[in-house]
Amino acid sequence: QSALTQPASVSGSPGQSITISCTGTSSDVGGYNYVSWYQQHPGKAPKLMIYDVSKRPSGVSNRFSASKSGNTASLTISGLRAEDEADYYCNSYTSSSTWVFGGGTKVTVL
């Protein structure tokens, strides 16, 4: 159950777009359309931002979008805002009937 691979940090200026990658294997990310993304502000509980690879829950801004190609999933934040500064985690269901998170990416708004 190795963690999915995410970049430790990504930064961008307000209004720009950034993309966070999440790389797994054919036993998790590549094998299922069950990748989700979570936003976590310091001291707070995680918040679901994307589920089933690219679906947005009600109430999540359409500035957040996501996709998957092979064993790599990606989260894009467009029109970057100060409030987007947070940690972001990807997650995938696995062939072992378990779930695995990525190591997390710290997004900094310059």
Binding string, 33-72, against other proteins, x = CB under 8 A?
A: -x-x-x-x----xxxx--xx----x---------------
Q: Contact between 95 and other proteins (CB under 8 A)?
A: no
- Of 16-24, 31-39, 64-72, 76-84: span binding other proteins (CB under 8 A): 31-39
Instruction: For 42-54, give one letter per residue: b (16+ CB within 10 A) or e.
Output: eeeebeebbbebb
Pick from 17, 26, 99, 108: which binds other proteins (CB under 8 A)? 99
Going from the C-alpha of 33 to that of each of 4, 54, 89, 91, 94, the distances in angstroms are: 15, 9, 16, 11, 10
